[in-house]
Amino acid sequence: MSKVDQIDPDEDAGPSKSKLKRQMSERQKLAETLAGFSSESLKTVPIEDGLRSALLETAKIKTFGGIRRHKQYLGKLMRLLTDD
């Protein structure tokens, strides 16, 4: 019996790849918005200290490629947070 025959159509395979990409993009945009906040404003937002320090680091990065990589890193940190 091949693997195709063993797939159960009623089984939930989880979210689609497109949905995961949309969620990642939304989290990255949220991180970009939070990175624009001042350090005083970030103190009032209930987030983890690691994420807060990474958001504050964003202002120190000046190169385009570095900013792009840092935004991806912020998106990764946002993904690791629980959906509380």
Lowest-confidence segment of 1-5, 10-14, 63-67 by average pLDDT: 1-5
36-81 pLDDT, tens digit each: 888 888 888 888 888 888 888 988 889 999 988 998 888 888 888 7
pTM of the model: 0.68
Q: Where are the domains of the chain?
A: 34-84
Q: What is the token pair recorded at 16? A: 């689609």
Residues 6+ apart with CB under 8 A from 48: 81
Distance, in Å, from the CA atom of 2 to the CA atom of 27, rounded to the nearest integer, reads 38
Task: Summarize the confidence of residues 6-23 as an average pLDDT.
Answer: 77
